[in-house]
Structure 1
Amino acid sequence: MCFKFLIFITLLSVGALVIYLMLEAERPQAQKIIDYQPHLVTRVYDKNASQITEISWEKRLYTPLYKIPKRLISAFLAAEDKHFYKHPGIDILGLLRAVIDNTLRSAWRNRPSGASTITQQVVKNIIVGNARSFKRKISEALTAILIENHLNKDEILEIYLNEIYLGAKSYGVLAAAQTYFNKTLNELTIEECAYLAALPKAPSSYDPMRHKAKALDRRNWVISRMYEDGYITKQELIAAKSTDLITVKNNEENLYDYFSEQVRRDLLEQFGEQGVYGEGLSVHTTQDPELQALTESVLHDGLLKLDRKRGFRGPITHLELEENNIPVTQEEWDKSDLRDTLIMLLEQSTYKKWPLAIILKILPTYNVVGLSNGRIMKLSSYGNWGENAETSNTELIHLSIGDIVFVEPIENDRVTLQQVPELTGGIVIMHPDTGAVLAVAGGFDAKSTQFNAATQALRQPGSCFKPFVYMAGLEKGYKGDTIIDDKEVNIYLGPGLGYYKPQNISKVSYGPTPMRIGLEKSRNQMTVHLAQMVGMQAVGEMAKRFGLYDKVYKDFSLSLGAGETTLLKLTAGYAMIANGGKKVTPHFISTVKDKNNTQIYQHEQGLLPVYQADQLITEYDHSNKPSVFDNRTEIVTQSASREMISFLRGAVLRGTAIRLVPLCEKRKIDFCAKTGTTNECKDAWIIGFTQNLGSENLVIGVFIGHPQPQSMGEYATGSKIALPFMHDLLKKIPTT
């Protein structure tokens, strides 16, 4: 008897030791949950404190348990773990039933049955994952027991309700409530709470758009469980079950525009990936929402208009169709596989805003087309393409049966032909006194490509660089009436390198001419001669001082804009001319606060009111304007800056930007600007600034070119290609 008792005690001790060792092995995993810190969404706001976008690995919004309504908690307890507040982390009887059932069915690697408690689901979601194995189940159970010994039930439930994946990229009940119902948690009805509680088992299987019947069945099952467990009354049961499942449309589209994408890049550089995607930062930016919308619209519509002038380039691709098996009616199209082909091609396309269409039948005045959106529609045989695109709609468009093109619906049964522009470009709008970027657009469509031509494209600025050559002359003591001989250039470059011989665009030499005319008329020969007179060292240092380049270049071709820079840097350079020669740094972010609302970053401000040093002067009423402390670095004298402003005003009144004069006179805008064109007309530019709008003065930069530098064609100059974009902006910018 004693011997048997000794064996029993030994086995019991060994078993306890094994369990202890197994628990200790799981302790590091349990500690991850005990020390749990959720990944929080970083929110980005414009200058008016309205949210622009969110930055996160997934859509996750954290809320403490005391803010979660009891009916929503009840729904999850009824659906997932009715004994949550009674068990030690595992449901022992349920677990034994599941082990026996899975073993008998050999289901461990196929579809094992569950019995996971909420605590076990927390372990699975955060640590062990969804691997289907007996070992994973044991690890999950042991870790759950450890967690229950360190966290109370409410702490575990709070983690669960914020961590659980509920489909549509939404983690946690708060994110899911917004995604499916566009509601706060307190606004959720019983049936809506029940639907959210139905999702953890299989979110995709209960998607309300694709599997509504299954979703309703599962929701109603949860409602029944809520009634059985005493959470709702009989009347509430009947009312909730009889209510239809109505959800809002899930929007999983990339919400970034060019501005917020640049903010994201700047944040990553400053705070790293974990800080940006996981720490719940509040980021206040410099974006002016009205100017941002205007900038995007002008660039998008302007590129379309410019592309139409350059003509239709032909279909995207072509499919050979069987002549006797072409679906030309709506009924035939509904049964055709061609629509699936178009949908597949559209999914592969970088641009998705327009539907694809295939030509099915050609008639004298229109073509019958089948669309990827399921419609049979009419496409006119004529369109507004070519040089007269803005005034004529009579150009015949040559298409064949089987051609696939982009179209845009315009009437009930009609579409118009579209094509993605082959040119791209950028627009930057900046505050001259601070360098704050108020708006930026970097291409035709931010959803198609996040490459930002305004901030990332390194291009030659052409004649837009010339003001910095003339600024070097002003600093050396030259004046606007200083005479420079506009004669042929013939600079020896060294053995084997030949001669540098740039000409004026007119191919004419104009002889001795006042210096300011050289800039107003964009004379290449005068500019190079001036660079010789002041020295390329002085020109290179001036360009570096204005932030265009990081080092000093001494090649004479630099004087005509051969050195590569970005539109953002060039616009900032003009801002420093406009503000009287004071150094500013272009920036998108004003302040950053952490999840505890503590400010962890503020852009260094150059203009500060004396009596309140944490706000910009432009935020004050100018009728009671405070005195200002200006700690900006002076990079050129105010007199030199004023002289250059006069030169650039002349470039509008009498020079290459003269086509802006009627609009500026009509809107009473004092505008100074310079156009630019690179060799072979690869890129077209115009940079300018207002001078009579007080605190609302703006610096605006426009660049147009191919994604990769190549000629846009003869006479594709800054005044012809880029200036119309500036015209459209000046037509709509606020002037009061």
Structure 2
Amino acid sequence: MAKKRKNKNRTKKGYFHLVVIYFTLLCLIAVGIGLGVKSLFNKFAIDLPSPTELVNYEISLPSKVYDCRGKLIHTFAKEKRVLITYDELPQSVIDAIVSTEDVNFYSHFGIDIKGTLRAALKNIRRGSASQGASTLTQQLARNLFLSHERSYIRKLKEAMVTFLIEDEFSKEEIMEIYFNKVYLGDGVYGLGRASKYYFGKALVDLSIGESATLIGMLQRPNYFDPRDRPVRTINRRNTVLWRMYKTGTISKKVYHQEMALPLVCADKETQDLNSYYLYYIGNKLVNKYSKKALYEEGLSIHLSLDWDLSLYADTLLSNQLDKLEEKMGYKIRYSDYEKRVSDIQTPYLQGGLLILDAHSGHVKAMIGGRNFKHSKLNRIMQSRRQVGSAIKPVLYTAALENGYTASTVIRDDTLKIKMWGYDKIPHLEDAPDSLLAIPSYVDSLKKLERKYLYYPKNYSKKVGGYMTLRHALKHSYNVFAMKTMYDIGKKTVSAKSDKFGIKVPPYYSSALGTSELKPIDIITAYTTFPNQGKRVKPIFIEKVFDKHGNLLEEPTTENIQVCEPDVAYLMSDILKSVTKPGGTAGSSFSNKEDYRWESAGKTGTTDDYKDAWFIGMNGKYVCGIWTGFDNYSPIPKDTLGVQFDSLNFKIDGMGHGMGGGSTCAPIASRIMGRLIVNDNNGEIPPANDSRYSFQKPIDVVEVWIDRTTGFRSLKATNRMKEVFTTRFPLPPYQRPGIKYNFPPLYSYDDPNPFIVEELNN
């Protein structure tokens, strides 16, 4: 009995407490009306918005990102929102909100006295404050300018701001602001965004039931989540429909029809596949304008990105890496990891890609890895990797400027490099006979000497003999490249690399791509060749406008002269051999269904197959692809001998290994083909379209040469047409006693020369 009396006492106290609350509120309202809002406003003015703030209040706007075709692809938003006007609100939404939240909205002055009294009486009868009485204007005042603390002072301020809002804005304006500001769960703000997010529709296309669902969510957005909690959301929707029926805004027939319909939501939006690109430009914009500007001030950002191409390239790259992992039998694969986990170590095979317009610098695609959530490391923009033979066009550009031509001949044979410090160690030839009689001493000297000797080898592990520069680059012979560097000088090559925008130290090993470079730098260096000898700086963002449409930035193309146009064309023409039959990427460009236009490029593979590259180009675009492991692990030896068909990635036969020609080039041809089709709005231009051909300067001529000797030829056999510039002497005809068209300063036709590598030479 004592317990029962205690509960009764609590109930009485609850009634008394509610009576006090509502009596006080009514008194405050009466005081506000009787004494005037002005006197109360003066008392609390320090914390309340001024009329100017009310009129000029702006809701934070997301910045919208568009691709090169004007397609909206992303928004940077503090609050995900799409602004709407009152005229865009369907009648079903207006009816639902008024019927459910504020039935006297169009007749009260901000505070519904009748509704407040009715709610107070109901709560007193029930003994709890379950019945709300806030009008839409009160809710707006609270959400815009006030906190959600529970106190009489806050209630008083809310009433005062409510009066100010009603005085400054029409009912239509209040409802417009309300629907743009309101929160609807999962980071979604505003009804315009919510209709698209939950139902995949514009506001005007919402059904009565869908309108009721969104209005029902306002009470508790996360609790009434239509995707995660459909049953309770349907019940809440039906409650809103019932209130609409009771207020006469829908008929009984419509009420029952809408109640019977299932709740169907649009698929949940997934993360952007191009997050590496968006993350990169987002950081650039924050650094230039501010985080607030990007997330709240409604910028319009127009990218050079081709969204369709980027999705296509991402799919091809991902599929290729999946196939490689499966066929090579890697123990750790991408498929072993949940796709949604964030910021983890990624020991699986990685890849990256960059495509840009060689003339404008516009970046059409940039993929920094296989999964942005797994790892935000942008392997195109941030990583430094050895580039292997992809460096050779830089070396041979310097050679073409220093007396070499495409028909210059060097013997590709065994080569030994004395590394720096070789002359400072003891050698067998200098040792006394007494020590040479000690086997252990002799063995130790031999081991020490081997540490200071480097024997560069070709990818095939075979020597090629006498060959032209074109042949050497087509088949990527390493000894030829290193002898060329020795001939023209390490410093000459290093200085030329600076012009290309990359830093290659003056070491002979640099001729084989041992320097670690950022992928974006080596790929951008190739824009020199189709762009008349000028390297272009990449442009990711084409234009930025503020919310009023004023242009904030429009980057202009910036070119850096690397070499003369004729040299650039000669290099491009030589690189065409790489993508022709017999070249290291020839099989990948043999399928004319994938790619039919002019093409050139270079593969690259580093020691132990740690990195594989292909950088391809035509007369307009450059496409670079890299694959490897983040931890610089060598690609396992048991992966050697696999070659992929360029169309369907099936095993075609045994090859030399996981080089750039078998890993990267097969998808490059298909991506570049799609790029050209996109460039022509889905049409396939003719194979001889001049936009995608390398433009020959007027001082470039074609001359018949002997394929073997490199000399000019009058014979009808064993000859080919070769390109030369008239700025330099053309190759001579063969003379007695001279077998090959050697370089002008060539003086070491010894089959096994020693080359001394000096640190400061």
Global fold match (TM > 0.5): yes
Q: 1:279 aligns with which of 294, 297, 311?
A: 297
**CA–CA separation in structure 1 for the residues paired with 2:158 and 2:453:** 76
Give 2:603's aligned residue. Answer: 675
Q: Is 2:632 the counterpart of 1:709?
A: yes
Question: TM-score of the superposition, structure 2-length normalised?
Answer: 0.68
Give 1:492's aligned residue. Answer: 420
Q: 1:426 aligns with which of 321, 343, 352?
A: 352
1:51-78 Cα distance to aligned partner (Å, 9 max, x none): 3333323321001223323442232122
- Provide closer, same or farther for how the CA distance between residues 63 and 290 of structure 1 changes in structure 2, counting only shifts above 3 A: closer
Q: Is 2:499 the counterpart of 1:576?
A: no
The SS at the match of 2:48 is: helix
The SS at the match of 2:75 is: strand
Give 1:246's aligned residue. Answer: 263
**CA–CA separation in structure 1 for the residues paired with 2:144 and 2:489:** 65
**What is the Cα deviation at residue 481 of structure 1?**
3.4
Q: 2:613 aligns with which of 668, 685, 691?
A: 685
Is the contact made by 1:84 and 1:118 (CA closer than 8 Å) also made in structure 2? yes
**What is the Cα deviation at residue 245 of structure 1?**
4.6
- Provide closer, same or farther for how the CA distance between residues 502 and 119 of structure 1 changes in structure 2, counting only shifts above 3 A: farther
**What is the Cα deviation at residue 438 of structure 1?**
2.3
Q: Which amino acid aligns with 2:78?
A: W
Q: 1:639 aligns with which of 543, 566, 569?
A: 566
Give 1:476's aligned residue. Answer: 402
Is the contact made by 1:177 and 1:184 (CA closer than 8 Å) also made in structure 2? yes
Give 1:222's aligned residue. Answer: 240
**What is the Cα deviation at residue 675 of structure 1?**
1.1
Q: How does 1:315-330 map to 2 (within 5 A)?
A: none
Q: Which amino acid aligns with 1:200?
A: L
**CA–CA separation in structure 1 for the residues paired with 2:50 and 2:555:** 41
- Provide closer, same or farther for how the CA distance between residues 23 and 151 of structure 1 changes in structure 2, counting only shifts above 3 A: farther
The SS at the match of 2:561 is: coil
Q: Is 2:195 the counterpart of 1:177?
A: yes
- Provide closer, same or farther for how the CA distance between residues 504 and 104 of structure 1 changes in structure 2, counting only shifts above 3 A: farther
**CA–CA separation in structure 2 for the residues paired with 1:494 and 1:124:** 80
1:285-335 Cα distance to aligned partner (Å, 9 max, x none): 3333443233122101100110012216289999xxxxxxxxxxxxxxxxx
Q: Which amino acid aligns with 2:178?
A: Y
**CA–CA separation in structure 1 for the residues paired with 2:423 and 2:98:** 86
Q: 2:591 aligns with which of 648, 663, 688?
A: 663
The SS at the match of 1:170 is: coil
The SS at the match of 1:427 is: strand
**What is the Cα deviation at residue 644 of structure 1?**
0.9
Q: How does 1:67-86 map to 2 (within 5 A)?
A: 67-86=88-107
**CA–CA separation in structure 2 for the residues paired with 1:69 and 1:317:** 46
Give 1:465's aligned residue. Answer: 391
- Provide closer, same or farther for how the CA distance between residues 493 and 66 of structure 1 changes in structure 2, counting only shifts above 3 A: farther
**CA–CA separation in structure 1 for the residues paired with 2:126 and 2:51:** 31
Q: Which amino acid aligns with 2:529?
A: I
Q: Is 2:514 the counterpart of 1:562?
A: yes
**CA–CA separation in structure 2 for the residues paired with 1:699 and 1:223:** 58
Q: Which amino acid aligns with 1:677?
A: T
1:387-430 Cα distance to aligned partner (Å, 9 max, x none): xxxxxxxxxxxxxxxxxxxxxxxxxxxxxxxxx99201012233
Q: Is 2:145 the counterpart of 1:203?
A: no
Is the contact made by 1:52 and 1:260 (CA closer than 8 Å) also made in structure 2? no
Question: TM-score of the superposition, structure 1-length normalised?
Answer: 0.71
Q: Is 2:83 the counterpart of 1:160?
A: no
**CA–CA separation in structure 1 for the residues paired with 2:207 and 2:583:** 67
Q: Is 2:95 the counterpart of 1:143?
A: no
Is the contact made by 1:207 and 1:215 (CA closer than 8 Å) also made in structure 2? yes
Which segment drifts farther, 93-102 or 519-528? 93-102
Give 2:668's aligned residue. Answer: 726
Is the contact made by 1:59 and 1:170 (CA closer than 8 Å) also made in structure 2? yes
Is the contact made by 2:64 and 2:76 (CA closer than 8 Å) also made in structure 1? yes
Give 1:7's aligned residue. Answer: none
Give 1:594's aligned residue. Answer: 546
Is the contact made by 1:223 and 1:240 (CA closer than 8 Å) also made in structure 2? no
Is the contact made by 1:168 and 1:252 (CA closer than 8 Å) also made in structure 2? no
- Provide closer, same or farther for how the CA distance between residues 445 and 481 of structure 1 changes in structure 2, counting only shifts above 3 A: same
**CA–CA separation in structure 2 for the residues paired with 1:495 and 1:135:** 89
- Provide closer, same or farther for how the CA distance between residues 720 and 203 of structure 1 changes in structure 2, counting only shifts above 3 A: same
**What is the Cα deviation at residue 440 of structure 1?**
3.2
The SS at the match of 1:205 is: coil
Aligned CA-pair RMSD: 4.1
- Provide closer, same or farther for how the CA distance between residues 307 and 235 of structure 1 changes in structure 2, counting only shifts above 3 A: same
Identity %: 29
- Provide closer, same or farther for how the CA distance between residues 44 and 482 of structure 1 changes in structure 2, counting only shifts above 3 A: same
- Provide closer, same or farther for how the CA distance between residues 601 and 731 of structure 1 changes in structure 2, counting only shifts above 3 A: closer
**What is the Cα deviation at residue 594 of structure 1?**
2.8
**CA–CA separation in structure 1 for the residues paired with 2:674 and 2:87:** 49
**What is the Cα deviation at residue 442 of structure 1?**
3.1
Is the contact made by 2:226 and 2:265 (CA closer than 8 Å) also made in structure 1? no
**CA–CA separation in structure 2 for the residues paired with 1:118 and 1:589:** 42
- Provide closer, same or farther for how the CA distance between residues 104 and 233 of structure 1 changes in structure 2, counting only shifts above 3 A: closer
Give 2:272's aligned residue. Answer: 255
**CA–CA separation in structure 2 for the residues paired with 1:223 and 1:567:** 59
Highest CA radius of gyration, 1 or 2? Answer: 2
Q: Which amino acid aligns with 2:556?
A: E
Give 1:39's aligned residue. Answer: 60
Gaps of 5+ in 2: 1-32, 426-450, 638-656, 678-683, 686-761
**CA–CA separation in structure 2 for the residues paired with 1:508 and 1:597:** 63
- Provide closer, same or farther for how the CA distance between residues 140 and 561 of structure 1 changes in structure 2, counting only shifts above 3 A: farther
Q: How does 1:429-444 map to 2 (within 5 A)?
A: 429-444=355-370
- Provide closer, same or farther for how the CA distance between residues 538 and 211 of structure 1 changes in structure 2, counting only shifts above 3 A: same
The SS at the match of 1:284 is: strand
Is the contact made by 2:354 and 2:366 (CA closer than 8 Å) also made in structure 1? yes
**What is the Cα deviation at residue 499 of structure 1?**
4.9
Give 1:700's aligned residue. Answer: 623
The SS at the match of 1:685 is: strand
**CA–CA separation in structure 2 for the residues paired with 1:474 and 1:78:** 81
Give 1:23's aligned residue. Answer: 44
**What is the Cα deviation at residue 112 of structure 1?**
7.2
Is the contact made by 1:190 and 1:240 (CA closer than 8 Å) also made in structure 2? no
**CA–CA separation in structure 2 for the residues paired with 1:120 and 1:160:** 10
- Provide closer, same or farther for how the CA distance between residues 652 and 145 of structure 1 changes in structure 2, counting only shifts above 3 A: same
Gaps of 5+ in 1: 1-11, 319-344, 353-419, 607-631, 692-696
Is the contact made by 1:572 and 1:585 (CA closer than 8 Å) also made in structure 2? yes
1:600-620 Cα distance to aligned partner (Å, 9 max, x none): 3323147xxxxxxxxxxxxxx
**CA–CA separation in structure 2 for the residues paired with 1:502 and 1:145:** 87
**What is the Cα deviation at residue 672 of structure 1?**
1.5
Q: Which amino acid aligns with 1:681?
A: Y
1:104-141 Cα distance to aligned partner (Å, 9 max, x none): 9998xxx8764222223223333444445555444433
- Provide closer, same or farther for how the CA distance between residues 46 and 88 of structure 1 changes in structure 2, counting only shifts above 3 A: same
**What is the Cα deviation at residue 143 of structure 1?**
3.5
- Provide closer, same or farther for how the CA distance between residues 491 and 470 of structure 1 changes in structure 2, counting only shifts above 3 A: farther
**What is the Cα deviation at residue 705 of structure 1?**
0.4
Q: Which amino acid aligns with 1:670?
A: E
- Provide closer, same or farther for how the CA distance between residues 348 and 731 of structure 1 changes in structure 2, counting only shifts above 3 A: closer
**CA–CA separation in structure 2 for the residues paired with 1:114 and 1:235:** 26
Give 1:295's aligned residue. Answer: 313
**CA–CA separation in structure 1 for the residues paired with 2:199 and 2:589:** 52
Give 1:359's aligned residue. Answer: none
Is the contact made by 1:69 and 1:185 (CA closer than 8 Å) also made in structure 2? yes
1:681-718 Cα distance to aligned partner (Å, 9 max, x none): 21111112135xxxxx4322110001232211344332
Q: How many residues align?
A: 597
Is the contact made by 1:53 and 1:256 (CA closer than 8 Å) also made in structure 2? no
**What is the Cα deviation at residue 38 of structure 1?**
1.9
Q: Which amino acid aligns with 1:710?
A: S
